[in-house]
Amino acid sequence: MKPLLKIAAILLLTAAAIADCKDRGTWTAEPSSENPSLLQFRFTCSRENGGIDRPLSPSAVAGLDPAAINGSHVPVKFRLAREAGTFDFDGTFNAGVGYGEFTFAANQQFLADLKQMGFSDTDSKAFVLAALDVTRAYIKELRGLGFDPDLDKVIAGRIFNVDREQVDGLKAVGVSSPSLDDLVQYRIFHVTPEYIRQTRAAFPGLAIDKMVAMRIHQVTPEFAQEMSRAGYTNLSADQLIAFKIHGVSPEFVHQMASLGFKGVDADHLVSFRIFNVNPDQIQDLSKSGYSALAADDLINFRIHHIDSAFIEKVKQAGYQHPSPGELVDFKIMGIRHRTAGL
């Protein structure tokens, strides 16, 4: 499963589980790590169903005294009214951290309007729609952008803040007609117009899906510069992605160079990582008289599980120093005992 689908599936499963929330649950709140002026609320129905996290401004909830938030064990009651329904909170704030219980009442008119708009299963999703602040205007915005999403797609769009501003920004850098799934993916991995401009400057003509892959695998300009200093200049985006996926780092390059593999091409470095060519293997083979092997030989030995123990069996069959190719043949075809004198 692609990373996007994994993340989106987890969040949508969480939303589906939370849909079991009918009219009550528990809440917690603490200062948002991204914006201390906001409170990060968590709506929870049960341990089994998990919860939904959303940042809220204290001014967005009715009846919450800002002074109470940083007080000492201050009892609070406040309300959050959304188009999909209303939350009533009861609990305590202590030194910026809040906790307590809530009740939820769905807005039946909103749910009826959604049914008129062609959506089904609205009743079971009322809690999620309210917690995420899905509105009629937001649904119309998505439709105005050319999408005809079901309710789960609307929820995914709201979770990741897909909107017209994002679409217009992408269009300005030449990314036209992305799907709703694409837009969610770009939000998840922070593929922004500025990132696209910067990446295209380094990799002219690079496709947007490759930019997403670079974000997913944390291929940064700094990483490209580190590999360049290690002797690997002008690597393609695909090569840098492969390096990140398989753990080819400047440290690994220096390690292999110290073992005699200096200037090995990029594809061989990746194969070394895939097949676990390492100092232990090289030292093990050298005990049987196989040192200074070519990169392809080491890879083939790993593929066919050729080590000093196997080489010893070959020698006991009468072959004192077979070539690397012969060792591979013996591993594939079996060891035939050598007749004396041949």
Give me the percent of the chain exceeding a pLDDT of 90.
Answer: 84
Confidence of residue 11 (pLDDT cuts 50, 70, 90): low
Written as one letter, the residue type at 189 is F
Summarize pLDDT for 201-243 with one digit per residue, the tens: 989 999 999 999 999 999 998 999 999 999 999 999 999 999 9
Written as one letter, the residue type at 105 is A
How much is the pLDDT for 49?
60
How much is the pLDDT for 342?
41
Residue 263 has pLDDT above 80, yes or no: yes
Give the pTM: 0.82
Length of the chain: 342
Summarize pLDDT for 35-92 with one digit per residue, the tens: 999 999 999 886 656 688 999 999 999 999 999 999 999 999 999 999 999 999 999 9
Residue 188 has pLDDT above 50, yes or no: yes
Residue 277 has pLDDT above 90, yes or no: yes
How much is the pLDDT for 205?
92
- Cα 20 from chain centroid? 27
Summarize pLDDT for 103-134 with one digit per residue, the tens: 999 999 999 999 999 998 899 899 999 999 99
